[in-house]
């Protein structure tokens, strides 16, 4: 059982202390991880509701950590706006980090879509989900600028299944970071969808609409090993497809991934049923592991009550960055009619930034701190 102090620690972690911090304001998420000796990993980005600045940068600065030098890896798990807002600023500020993303995002198909977007001289209207093309375009520009600096050898790394992307011996422990996805077939599926988006985008320039891939073929799952043992499994938004060559099935069945079971699981896709894999819980996680997730408000609020019930069958150590909103507020019919008459598309406002902080070192038990609205489920 973890020690749930319910208090976020505001001092820097010790040099030998591992930290996993998960942030979620209801729309968006990011993860900040201390690897050791004041070196950090950032996964994805979301905006602080009050300042509109990237949450991972604000958190590190509040710890008196300089992200320009301390962040060694910045991973963009996939191309959806709830994981990528503010990512271009993170990439620009964290100038000593490898920028890591799926190999699909440097293929000709995707770069052509970026060129279509970047060539527009007017503001672009995105579809309902809002794609992260502008952020990716800016990040690619940052990478190209760094490539032009001869003194720079820290630029980017492409993510694919069963690939070690980082390894270091720290003062008191060793760390390895592995990408477990996307699989080769998942990359091909993603490229096919990007191709469709490119065609639609080219046909939609009059309306200046850029479409977005709707599936999570491209989501990058990470595994962190400490002293040679699997410890932390970070599930991004990867879904279960039932196809042994894609999704969680491809990861579970892979003979080339690091074996062993993890103790901390960032549950994929806000705990939704389409990202659930019984085999992951049985074969890749210890019983009663620590499960952490973000909620998502809006049209399809997740996790649902049924999702929480399902997850609690696998662990009682379950934490969410915010209570899920399972019901929409209902107005008086006359008020609802007026709202619809003046507003075509309603979106929920960002809530407060929930924060789940896990710290552990050596053989000591994990301590879980929570900042409201984060809570144990």
pLDDT above 70 (res 5) = no
Predicted TM-score of the model (pTM): 0.88
User: 302 in a domain, yes or no?
Assistant: yes
Does position 323 have pLDDT exceeding 90, yes or no?
Answer: no
- Does 174 fall in a domain? yes
Task: Please say if the pLDDT value at position 173 is more than 80.
Answer: yes
Q: Is the model's pLDDT at 207 over the cut of 50?
A: no
- pLDDT score for 356: 97
Question: Residue 373: inside a domain, yes or no?
Answer: no
Q: For residues 261 and 226, what is the distance between their CA atoms, to the nearest angstrom?
A: 12
Beta bridge partners of 39: 36
- The residue with greater pLDDT, 138 or 88, is 88
In a 10 Å sphere around its CB, with 0-12 CB exposed, 13-18 middle and 19+ buried, how is residue 198 labelled? Answer: buried
Averaged over 251-276, what is the pLDDT?
96
Q: How far is Cα 80 from Cα 255, in angstroms, rounded to an integer?
A: 29
- Comparing CA positions, the residue from 77, 36, 116 lying closest to residue 238 is 77
pLDDT at 120: 45
Structural domain boundaries enclosing 107: 18-345+352-358
Q: How is residue 55 written in tokens?
A: 């949450």
pLDDT score of 333: 62
Angle between helices 108-118 and 184-203 (to 10 degrees): 30
| pLDDT score of 126 | 44
Q: Output the pLDDT for position 102.
A: 83
Is 330 a residue whose pLDDT tops 90? no
Q: Residues 42, 31: contact at Cβ < 8 Å?
A: yes
CATH value at residue 336: 3.60.15
**Does residue 322 lie within any of the structural domains?**
yes
* Position 127 confidence tier, pLDDT thresholds 50, 70, 90: very low
**pLDDT in the model for residue 27:** 78
Is residue 311 situated within a structural domain? yes
Cα–Cα distance for residue pair 241/134, rounded to 1 Å: 29
For residue 33, being part of any structural domain is answered with yes
HEC states along 20-41? EEEEECCCCCEEEEEEECCEEE
Q: Which has the closest alpha carbon to 98: 139, 48, 65, 133?
A: 139
Query: Number of folded domains in the chain?
Result: 1
Q: With 90 as the cut, is the pLDDT of residue 321 above it?
A: yes
Over the stretch 39-91, which tens digit does the pLDDT of each residue have?
Answer: 999 999 999 998 999 999 999 999 999 999 999 999 998 877 777 889 999 99
pLDDT band at 122 (very low <50, low <70, confident <90, very high): very low
Whether 124 maps to a domain, the answer reads yes
Average pLDDT of the residues in 228-233? 96
User: Is 48 in contact with 350 (CB distance < 8 Å)?
Assistant: no
Question: Six-digit token pair at 366?
Answer: 């994990």
> What pLDDT, on the 0 to 100 scale, is given for residue 194?
72
Cα–Cα distance for residue pair 36/337, rounded to 1 Å = 56
Q: What pLDDT is stored for residue 226 in this prediction?
A: 97
Spatial strand order in the sheet of 163-169: 163-169, 174-179, 222-226, 229-234, 262-266, 285-293, 318-320, 375-376
3 within some domain: no
Contacting residues for 343 by C-beta, under 8 A, at least 6 apart: none
SS3 annotation, the chain? CCEECCCCCCCCCCCCCEEEEEEECCCCCEEEEEEECCEEEEECECECCCCCCEHHHHHHHHCCCCHHHHEEEEECCCCCHHHHCCHHHHHHHCCCCEEEEEHHHHCHHHHHHHHHHHCCCCCCEECCCCCCHHHHHHHHHHHHHHHCCCCCCCCEEEECCCEEEEEEECCCCEEEEEECCCCHHHHHHHHHHHHHHHHHHHHCCCCCEECCCCCCCCCCCEEEEECCEEEEEECCCCCCCCCCCCHHHHHHHCCCCCCCCEEEEECHHHHCHHHCCHHHHHHCEEEEEEEEECCECCCCCECCHHHHHHHCCCCCCEEECCCCCCCCCCCCHHHHHHHHHHCCCCCCCCCCCEEEEEEECCCCCCEEEEECCCEEC
Alpha carbon distance 41, 178 (integer Å): 12
């Amino acid at each position: 059982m973890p020690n749930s102090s319910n208090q976020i620690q505001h001092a820097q972690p010790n040099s030998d202390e591992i930290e996993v911090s998960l942030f979620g304001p209801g729309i968006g998420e990011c993860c900040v991880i201390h690897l050791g000796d004041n070196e950090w990993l950032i996964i994805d980005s979301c905006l602080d509701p009050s300042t509109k600045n990237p949450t991972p940068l604000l958190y590190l600065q509040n710890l008196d950590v300089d992200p320009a030098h301390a962040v060694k890896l910045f991973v963009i798990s996939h191309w959806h706006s709830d994981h990528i807002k503010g990512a271009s600023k993170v990439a620009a500020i964290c100038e000593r980090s490898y920028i890591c993303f799926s190999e699909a995002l440097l293929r000709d198909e995707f770069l052509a879509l970026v060129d279509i977007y970047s060539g527009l001289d007017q503001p672009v209207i995105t579809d309902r989900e809002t794609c992260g093309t502008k952020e990716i375009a800016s990040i690619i520009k940052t990478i190209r600028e760094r490539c032009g600096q001869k003194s720079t050898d820290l630029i980017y790394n492409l993510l694919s299944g069963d690939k070690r992307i980082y390894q270091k011996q720290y003062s008191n422990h060793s760390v390895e970071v592995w990408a477990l996805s996307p699989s080769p077939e998942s990359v091909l599926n993603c490229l096919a969808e990007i191709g469709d988006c490119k065609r639609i985008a080219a046909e939609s320039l009059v309306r200046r609409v850029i479409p977005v891939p709707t599936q999570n073929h491209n989501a990058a799952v990470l595994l962190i090993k400490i002293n040679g043992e699997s410890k932390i499994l970070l599930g991004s938004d990867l879904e279960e497809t039932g196809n042994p060559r894609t999704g969680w099935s491809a990861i579970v069945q892979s003979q080339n991934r690091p074996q062993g079971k993890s103790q901390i699981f960032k549950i994929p896709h806000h705990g939704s049923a389409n990202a659930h894999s019984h085999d992951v819980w049985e074969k890749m996680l210890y019983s009663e592991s620590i499960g952490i997730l973000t909620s998502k408000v809006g049209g399809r609020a997740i996790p649902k009550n049924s999702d929480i019930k399902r997850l609690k069958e696998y662990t009682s150590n379950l934490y969410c960055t915010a209570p899920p909103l399972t019901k929409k507020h209902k107005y008086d019919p006359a008020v609802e009619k007026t709202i619809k008459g003046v507003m075509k598309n309603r979106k929920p406002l960002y809530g407060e930034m929930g924060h789940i902080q896990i710290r552990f070192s050596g053989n000591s038990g994990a301590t879980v701190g929570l900042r409201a609205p984060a809570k144990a489920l």
